[in-house]
Each structure stands twice: as structure tokens, then as C-alpha cells.
Amino acid sequence: MADCDYRSPFWRNVVRWGLTLGCSALALFALLYVAGFFSSETSSSRAGKDSSGRLDVSDGSITDPQQMSATEIDNPANDGWPTEVFNNAAKKQLKKLAALLTQKDAPSAQSLAPLVTGDFNCTPLLPIHRETVFKDNDFHIQRAVTDSKVAAGDRASAHREYAHAEGLSKALQSLLNPFSTSEELHCKLKTFRVEPAENHIVTWQYFSCSGKSKDGMVEQHATWKIRWTRPAPGTAPRMESIEVENFEMTESHRGPESMFVDKTEAVLENNESYSKQLSWGLNRWLQRTQERRHLLGSPGIAIGDVNGDGLEDLYLCQELGIPNLLFIQNQDGTLDDVSAEWGVDWLQHSRSVLLLDLDNDTDQDLVVGFFGGVLIASNENGKRFKVRTILETSEDVMSLSAADFDNDGDLDLYASAYIHSPNEVASDSRSGNMPGAMSNLVFHDANTGASNSLLRNEIAGDDWAFVDATLETGLAKNNSRYSYAAAWEDYDNDGDQDLYVANDFGRDNLFQNTDGQFVDVGDQVGAEDAAAGMGITWGDYNHDGWMDAYISNMWSSAGNRIAFQPQFKTNAPPQLKKRIQRLARGNTLLENQQGQSFRDVSAAADVEVGRWAWSSKFVDLNNDSWEDLVVANGYVTNSNTSDL
């Protein structure tokens, strides 16, 4: 590739190394660290031996990663992250602990002894002081009362009871007590921060346990701070103490059924496409696909009534070589696959879909965003769709969203796009054109992505014209981010539609609409949320009459572990360091301050940890009038789970 000719070999290696790992957070952060991303020197700068002796970083001579096996690449010892090495050792111990929790009987002192030191102690793992924070017929939610509200004497005496392996056994017994009738118990510990000190190492982890019984379900979520011995080489670390920093327990007493029940099979099983396609994951089709670009899984969906019978139908986009599917709902709630009949079983690599009345003739037309452009089809008497036009946009089209931005009575379209594919740049055979493949990508503030398009509806009779109005409306500004999604909303309650764009690798946009002209006010109103934006949803979560925004980002335990190390990017200015740490912090809830600005309340609302989040959606799950949040997450699961 052309660009490589001008890049130093070292730099190329670093880039490739990042690519090889994909966008895994560890790679991302290690990459930033090793490459000295923010030092003023250019690609030749290397992290050398740290003079303070805290951390050894290899001298920059990186083995050609193409020659390394996957497991070698994952070995943090090679990357010079001793804390990651420690984390792997601690992880093994925590896995043992989690396994003990899900056994029939609470773990005995004997079984716990190999995990703890002789002088181990812990706070009660099921906090003694708890209060109800929410209660209705379905949920009973309790949280630990903060230490400050508990008398000091009470705290101390509680501690003394839980010493040694015996104490831990006792603490776990009471923690598991609410699950005594549970049949299925799932427990997990995930470390998100590691802090080395002189004689020990402290880790923070999320603890979660859930169980199901005849009477109902229980789930617990807590943050544990664990102090470990510094292990001698070749030995496992042991826990010196566990402290519970916060604790929440939710119980429901409505029998063994969960609130939502999976009815997929009953709805879809009469269709061949269910067994032949939908019950298989993308991995199967990736074995044979000849498309190589950005195949991270893009099964977009739209719900709408396409045949006008008052029942909602469903359209599903699929990747290259597997057809898009249209299902029509029957009276009994099941679905019939009519994709071929309706002429919409396209094999093109499709991402997103909208069902809308574009020509105001009262039926639902179809818009499909696919790799290469945007397709517009008209609804022909509720019997089939007819392709009217295919608009060429940026290739890497992601989400679509529609609104009548100019209030002229018809719906206009906005297409988000991710990777910019300049003509000269070929696909890199190693990357499959993953985002990391882009050269000069500044992870915390990337400005080399594809352009999004505003497509103005100019349908007149049989002429289904849409015109690219991006430039003339001011939306071409700040329009080269890696955009995954956008959503329209009148955030300032002035009667027109504003637009929030969620961007990966950096700042989001909030385009304020004034008479059909847009200005990006994201920075100005505190809505830029510079992180790994992947989805956006709006809702008035606090009943104040102003729409609040919730943005899906990436929460990565590895990213958190590394970015919050004291030695992570020691030389970077604090603001930059903060930006990078922000990248892995997770989802964001922006509280609308009466249309003037937004306040980031994510931490206080405890809605950050949505993991590798794609769609997020405000939805009132329990009809109590308060908007809840559903977060769909998970990047790539394969049979080989050597994950971070």
C-alpha cells in the first residue's frame, strides 16, 4: 500500500500488531503505550526501560507479530505488563472461588484455605446494614447502607467475625443464604482494576450472582476490593482481605419464570429460514464469505405493519450472501417468511432498515442501508416492495434514522457511516479492513472516518428522488468520524428535530437544528461524550419534561485495568490521559438541563458498565412510567474463547 512506503518499519509493526489483535482493548491500550502516542516525538519514540524500575517495557524491538501464534500475542508478559500477568494469576484464583460458590453447599474453610493467607479477614460479604431502595409487587431492591451511616463500633465488631478461611466461609455462607432454594446459581467475578503497592497488590472486581427457584429469582451485584500477597514467581497469589465497597440485591417473588420469556422458536419455527439461517450464527457464513470488509455482524431490524392489517411485521438485514428477511405476523402472533414473494430477499451485505411512509400514501415503504449505499423501495399495495432508487453514499453504511428535518411534511433520511475507504487504499489481507487498519488513527479523537449523509426527500409522483443535503444544511462539519448510529430528537423543545451522532474513537456530535440548518453544539453543551460511541437512545428518564440521552460505548475490564495504572502513559498530559481512560469507561447517561446543556450522570446512576455495548434502548419494562435501559452487548464470540 502506498502509505506504507512512507512509514518507518517500526511504526508499521505497531500498527499491524494492533490489527492482528483487532480492536481488543488490551491491544488498543498497549498500542498507545508502546507507541508513545502522545509524546511530541514521532514514530521513532519508544518506551524504554522505566528509570524508576516500576515497570519494564521491552525496548521497542517488536517481533513480527505475523510470526507469533495467538497465544503468544496474548501473553502479557511479552507486552511488559506485569500487572496483567498478575491479573491472570489472580483470575485463576477468583475462578476457583466462583466455582466454589455455585456448588451445592457453601464453601468450607478447608476448600478456601488455599486461596487466602493465614491472617485473612473480610467485611461481611452480605452487608449487615441494608436498606430497601425500591419495592413494588415485582421487585424488591436492597442496597448496603454506606459506612458513614453505620456506627463505628458496629463496623469493627462485624469485621472481627470474619477472619481466616473460617471467616470467609462464614461470610460466603451468609452471602449465599438468599439463594438457599435456588436451583440454578451463576456467579462471576470480573477484575477491572489492579493497583500494585509495595508489599501487596489490590484489585477491584465486580461480583455478581443470580439464582432461580420455585418462588422467584434473586440477583446480587457488588464491588469487592481484594488485597493480595505479592506472589513469589511460580506461586499463586493469595487473598489477604476482601472489602465490600457496594452491594445491591434484587429479589422477585413471582415464581420461576423470568420477566421476559424467550418465544423465538414458537414465533418463527414454521419457516425454513428459521432452521436454515436464523438458528446459525454469522460464524458459519464467515467460513465461506468472499466479502472481506467490516464483518462484525450487522443484523439490523425494523418493526412496522407492511400489509396494513394492524399487526406489526419484522424485517431483518443480513450480511453478504445470506438473504434479508421479511416476516409478516399472523393472527396468532407467529411469523411467515415472505421475503422472496415481496421481492426483498437481497443477498447484498445489508446493515440497517427502516419501515416508513416516504410518499405519504399511508403505507409503509422500505429503506435498506447496505455496504455501498442506501436502497429505497415503495410499498405496492401491501403485496410487495418495488426498488425505486439506490443511492450511493459512503460505502460503510451503518445505522439509518429518519425525520422531517426541514418540516416540509415528508421524511428525510440520515445514514451513518463508519470506515472511509479512499480509493487508493486496498484491503489489508490481515485486517479484513477492521477499524484499526486505518493508518494514523488517533484512538481517542479519530477524524478519518467515513462521511454520513443527510438525504432529503424530494419524491414527486413516480420520481422517487432523494438529494444529498449534507453540505447545504451544515452537516458536513465534523463529519469524518467513525459513526455507528444517530438518533433524532428535539432536545431543546423548540419544535424541530436535532440530531445526535454516536461516533467510535472520539467525540460525538449533537447537531442543533435551526430552520433546517445544523450546528454541532456537542462540545458547547457538554454532550460530546468522547468515547467509543456505538448507539444512542433518548428518553425522559427523570420525568422533568426534557429528553435525556443514553449512549452505548465500550466498557472493557482490560482497558480499565491498564488505563488506570499509575504508570500508564506517565508522560501524557493529564487531560489526554483522562480522555484515554474515558474510552473504556462505558456507557453514558446525559441528563438534559432544560435544553441548555447536558450533565453526565452516568456514575451516579450506575449505568456505565454495559460492556461492549451496541444497541441501548430506553424502554419502560415494567409499566411504572419510568424509562428503564436495555443494553445489547458482546463483540465477537467464537469457539476459541481465549479472551481478555
Partner 1 sequence: MLNQGGRSFSGKERHCIFLNTGNDPRGNGQFANVSAITGLDFPDDGRAIGVVDWDQDGDQDLWLSNRNAPRLRFMRNEMPADKNYVALRLVGNGTTTNHDAIGARIEVVLDHSHSKATTESPAVAETLIQSLRAGEGFLAQSSKWVHFGLGDANTIKHVAVHWPNGKVENFNNLKVNHRYTLVQGSATATEATPPDRTIELATSSAKKKSAIPSMRIPLVALLRVPDLNYLDFRGNRQSLTTVSSGPLLINLWSTSCKPCLEELNDFTKRSEDIRSAGIRIVALSIDGLEKGPDAADASQEVLAKMGFPFDAGEATKELIQVLYSLKKSLLFSAQELPLPTSFLLDASGRLAVIYLGPVSVDNLLEDRHHASLTTEERYERSAALVGSMLKNDVTNKILEKNEAIAFYNFADSLREQGLRREADLQFAEAAKLQHSSPNAKKLVAEMLFKWSNLLAADENWSDAASAARKAIDKSPENAKYHYNLGVLSKRLGDLQTAQEHYENAIEIDPDLISAHVNLAMILAKKKEWKKAEKYFRRVSHARPHDAEIFYNLGVALAEQDKWQEASNQFRQALKIRPYFSQASKYLDRAKQNLKEEQK
| Element holding 16 (H helix, E strand) | helix 9-20
Of the candidate residues 32, 116, 189, 217, the single one contacting partner 1 (CB under 8 A)? 217
Compute the distance between CA of residue 604 and CA of residue 233 in angstroms, rounded to an integer: 40
Candidates 87-95, 133-141, 194-202, 570-578; binding stretch for partner 1 (CB under 8 A): 133-141
Q: Rounded to the nearest 5°, which phi and psi values hold at 553? A: -135, -165
Compute the distance between CA of residue 186 and CA of residue 189 in angstroms, rounded to an integer: 11
Of the candidate residues 161, 357, 445, 600, the single one contacting partner 1 (CB under 8 A)? 357
Residue 172 contacts residue 125 (beta carbons within 8 Å):
yes
Of the candidate residues 44, 63, 270, 360, the single one contacting partner 1 (CB under 8 A)? 360
Type of residue at 607: V
Give the interface size with partner 1 as a residue count (CB under 8 A): 202
Q: Which of residues 608-637 bind partner 1 (CB under 8 A)?
A: 609-617, 619-637
Q: Which of residues 324-343 bind partner 1 (CB under 8 A)?
A: 324, 329, 331-334, 339-340, 343
Candidates 23-31, 150-158, 173-181, 193-201; binding stretch for partner 1 (CB under 8 A): 23-31
- Minimum Å gap between C-beta 295 and partner 1 is 6
Candidates 109-117, 444-452, 496-504, 592-600; binding stretch for partner 1 (CB under 8 A): 496-504
Is position 467 an interface residue for partner 1 (rule: CB under 8 A)? no
Dihedral sign from CA coordinates of 226, 230, 233, 237:
negative
Is position 594 an interface residue for partner 1 (rule: CB under 8 A)? no
Compute the distance between CA of residue 110 and CA of residue 415 in angstroms, rounded to an integer: 60
Is position 207 an interface residue for partner 1 (rule: CB under 8 A)? no
Cell of 404: 422531517
Give DSSP secondary structure letters for 159-171: HHTSBHHHHHHHH
How many CA atoms lie less than 13 Å away from 45 in the CB half-sphere? Answer: 14
Cell of 157: 465488631
Candidates 35-43, 88-96, 350-358, 445-453; binding stretch for partner 1 (CB under 8 A): 350-358
Chain-centroid distance, C-alpha 226: 26
Is position 468 an interface residue for partner 1 (rule: CB under 8 A)? no
Of the candidate residues 195, 248, 458, 468, the single one contacting partner 1 (CB under 8 A)? 248
Burial of 77 (0-12, 13-18, 19+ CB in 10 A): exposed
Q: What is the DSSP letter of 531?
A: B
Report the chain's C-alpha Rg in angstroms: 27
Closest among 455, 353, 453, 467 to 399, alpha carbons compared: 353
Of the candidate residues 41, 105, 119, 424, the single one contacting partner 1 (CB under 8 A)? 424
Is position 394 an interface residue for partner 1 (rule: CB under 8 A)? no
Q: Which of residues 271-290 bind partner 1 (CB under 8 A)?
A: 276-290
Q: Is 278 helix (H, G, I), strand (E, B) or coil?
A: helix
- Minimum Å gap between C-beta 406 and partner 1 is 10
Closest among 521, 525, 526, 533 to 445, alpha carbons compared: 533
Is position 509 an interface residue for partner 1 (rule: CB under 8 A)? no
CA distances from residue 495 to 174, 183, 486, 498 in whole angstroms, order as listed: 55, 53, 19, 9
Of the candidate residues 419, 485, 572, 590, the single one contacting partner 1 (CB under 8 A)? 485
Is position 383 an interface residue for partner 1 (rule: CB under 8 A)? no
Candidates 194-202, 257-265, 470-478, 517-525; binding stretch for partner 1 (CB under 8 A): 257-265
Nearer to partner 1, 166 or 291 (CB): 291
Is position 115 an interface residue for partner 1 (rule: CB under 8 A)? no
Q: Which of residues 61-90 bind partner 1 (CB under 8 A)?
A: 70
- Minimum Å gap between C-beta 415 and partner 1 is 10
